[in-house]
Structure 1
Amino acid sequence: MSRAEVTAGAAGASGADGVRAATAATAKETDTGHPAGPGSPPRPVRLAWTLGLLRSELSITFRRWRTLALLAVLAAVPVLVGIAVKIETGDGGSVGGGGPDGGGGPAFIAQVTNNGLFLVFTALAATLPFFLPMAIGVVAGDAIAGEASAGTLRYLLVAPAGRTRLLLVKYATALTFCLVATLVVAASALAVGALLFPLGEVTTISGTRISFSDGLLRALLIALVVAASLIGVSALGLFVSTMTSSGIAAMATTVGLLITVQILDQIPQLHAIHPYLFSHYWLSFADLMRDPVYWDDLVKNLGLQALYAGVFGSAAWARFGVKDIAS
């Protein structure tokens, strides 16, 4: 298809359709400097085109009001937690701790008044079970289904991207959102913690003391682990997104599956399947606050996320490869 034909199609499309069509045509031409003819020989994978498509997807995703609203809600959680802790301890009271080993989120809350850096760990523990994965489910669930319902998916396939490359770009965008969303929570918590509480040496769960710089490094590692813990949810959402042409249905289904898995993980009678649920080891990031670090559950968590990414990523690729693109 020539650039003129694509441009003509874009001219007859509305809003996002035209933008998508123009983007596809531009990407196709800038790959080689001229439009590809029907008799052109096969070319190797064009890294520049792929990066251009990824840049376009990232720009579109992070400029949506829905995405900005999700990030704003995530940033507000540490603010609310910090203010609540400050109010509760303002009269000299204390915040209750968690389990005996101090590994859960509530145990971090007990340390917030002594060191604002613990607000980072508390906020991540508070958002990881629901808020963060829900936001990821919305973005990943809308990846393919949202394009189909808006009528822009066919324009994305005009350029010689191939369905596989487009799917990879969509997944890379979802993973980028995982990282950005987690860092937004961590940065917001660090800022609020520094404003409301003192900062200094950090007491680990094991009782040893480390410098503030080491604690800050561990906070960054914890944020990266939390982001990696959402890889499985992203792959699941992408697979659901290839199963329907309704963005709303895909997002609702992904969030519904997320809630179902969380419920199953809380039923003691189902303990046999708990180690295979993608959410089971989410809070293992607390082991990074031990001295020495406990790696067993962390490795199990990352391995489980990789397994879910492989299974549902492959399922999404198989489904999208035979999907009838009618819009």
Structure 2
Amino acid sequence: MSPAEPVGARPDADRTADESGDGPRGGLGLALLGSELAVLFRRVRTIALLGALALIPVLLAVAVRVTTADGGSGRGPAFLGDITQNGLFVSLTALTVAIPLFLPLTVGVVAGDTVAGEASLGTLRYLLVTPVGRVRLLLVKYAAAAAFCLAATLVVVVFGAIAGAALFPIGPVTLLSGQTIGLGDYALRLLLMALYVTLSLLGLSAIGLFASTLTSVPVGAMAATIVLSTVAQIVDALPQLDALDPWLFTHHWLGFADLMRDPISWDSFAANALLQAGYVAVFGALALGRFTTKDVLS
């Protein structure tokens, strides 16, 4: 990599070596996905985004610890006061804090860069002269963005659990419905919550992918994705626009709290999955239509 080459750019020779070849088309797709994931998670920017997300539960736990040590009550937003009694609530609280702003911000950066980043670096044309195909390339780009959604959510959950265990006592967890469960059951529910939040971000990733096909300026696609996320949450909070709520991709984002009941309520999970699938289908089709007709080789 030359000194002037942007961080995260792949040398064209390496890209061609990784993504060309005479193997089966399925093997080519997997090789391309592996290359895309390796590049994404080796980027300094990606590592910095994940590091920033890891700081959210850590700072939250430290703030509660310092406040209670100074004689404060530890009260605050939902679940915040429970952290002092059981450190395992740090992960749940951190997810609640991160999903309105911090997770959409990081996902918007990654999704907005999927295609526009390649176009701005001039590497998109080299990808398309290999026997990859535009449809397959777009699917791989979206799969990498979805993988980042999962990684980002797991970072918040895992670092929340570590920080909570380090700074507060841990023990059986009392659910929202009043029952008490053991650590193993709660760990499984945390994993389900991480999957729920990942699912919640798939629609936003599809919007970012579409925005990324519209421009060769990654910052523009990133900004548009993040702004749409913010606007959707504002609209969702306005009582005058309640009729729009079921159609907003942000509407079920906080529904993972239903996983803290016994028995688990799957209604929000199912409704969220259906809603996000609709956004993925619509904006995926728009991205595909744009990308397959876009002139990137001239």
Partner of 1:274: 245
Q: What SS is found at the alignment partner of 2:117?
A: helix
Q: How do 1:158-173 residues align onto structure 2 when only pairs under 5 Å count? A: 158-173=129-144
Secondary structure of the corresponding residue to residue 131 of structure 2? coil
Which residue of 158, 176, 197 maps to 1:205? 176
| Distance (whole Å) between structure 1 residues aligned to residue 180 and residue 264 of structure 2 | 14
1:48 aligns with 2:27: yes
Distance, in Å, in 2 between the alignment partners of 1:117 and 1:224 is: 18
CA contact 1:287–1:294 (8 Å) conserved in 2: yes
1:178-327 to 2 correspondences below 5 Å: 178-326=149-297
Kindly indicate whether the alpha-carbon contact (under 8 Å) linking 2:18 and 2:31 is maintained by their aligned counterparts in 1: no
Are 2:62 and 1:83 aligned? yes
**Letter of the 2:38 counterpart:** S
Note the aligned Cα RMSD (angstroms). Answer: 2.1
Aligned pairs (5 A) from 1:62-81: 62-81=41-60
Give the TM-score taking structure 2 as reference length. 0.94
Percentage of identical aligned residues: 54
Q: Distance in 1 between matches of 2:227 and 2:283?
A: 16
Structure with greater Cα Rg = 1
Select which of 6, 17, 20 maps to 1:28.
20
SS at match of 2:166: helix
Partner amino acid, structure 1, of 2:36: E
The one-letter code of the counterpart of 1:113 is: T
Deviations 1:165-197, CA, capped at 9 Å, x for gaps: 000000000000000011111111010000011
Partner SS, residue 255 of structure 1: helix
SS at 2:254's partner residue?
Answer: helix
Counterpart residue identity of residue 52, structure 1 = A
Amino acid at match of 1:217: L
Residues 199 and 276, structure 2, Cα contact 8 Å, conserved in 1: yes
Shift, 1:82, TM fit: 0.4
Equivalent residue number for residue 10 of structure 1: none
C-alpha offsets along residues 207-266 of structure 1, whole Å, 9 cap, x if unaligned? 111111111111111111111110000000000000111111111111111111121112
* Contact kept in structure 2, 1:24 and 1:158, CA below 8 Å: no
Q: Distance in 2 between matches of 1:52 and 1:127?
A: 33
Q: Which whole-Å deviations, capped at 9, do the CAs of 1:102-157 have from their partners, x for residues lacking one? A: xxxx3221211111111110001100111001101100100000100110000111
Secondary structure (helix, strand or coil) at the match of 1:199 reads coil
Report the Cα distance in structure 1 between the residues aligned to 2:20 and 2:190, rounded to whole angstroms: 42
The one-letter code sitting in structure 1 at the alignment partner of 2:16 is A
* Structure 1 residues 169 and 83, CA gap change in structure 2 (3 angstroms): same
CA distance in 2, matches of 1:17, 1:120: 34
Deviation at 1:326, TM superposition (A): 4.2
- Gap regions ≥5 residues in structure 2: none
Letter in 2 for 1:235: A
| 1:57 alignment counterpart | 36
Shift of the alpha carbon at 1:23? 2.2
Structure 1's unaligned 5+ residue stretches are 1-13, 33-44, 98-105
Counterparts of 2:141 and 2:10, CA distance in 1:
20
Report which stretch shifted further, 291-300 or 312-321.
291-300
Take 2:95 and 2:204, find their aligned partners in 1: how far apart are those partners? 16
Q: Given the two structures, how large is their TM-score scaled by the length of structure 1? A: 0.86
Distance in structure 1 (CA, Å) of the matches to 2:49 and 2:220: 18
Question: Helix, strand or coil for the counterpart of 1:263?
Answer: helix
Classify the secondary structure of the residue corresponding to 2:11: helix
Tell me if structure 2 keeps the 8 A contact 1:17–1:155. Answer: no
CA shift, 1:22, in A, is 3.7
- In the alignment, the residues of structure 2 paired with residue 282 and residue 220 of structure 1 have an alpha-carbon distance, to the nearest angstrom, of 16
Give the aligned residue type for 1:61: L
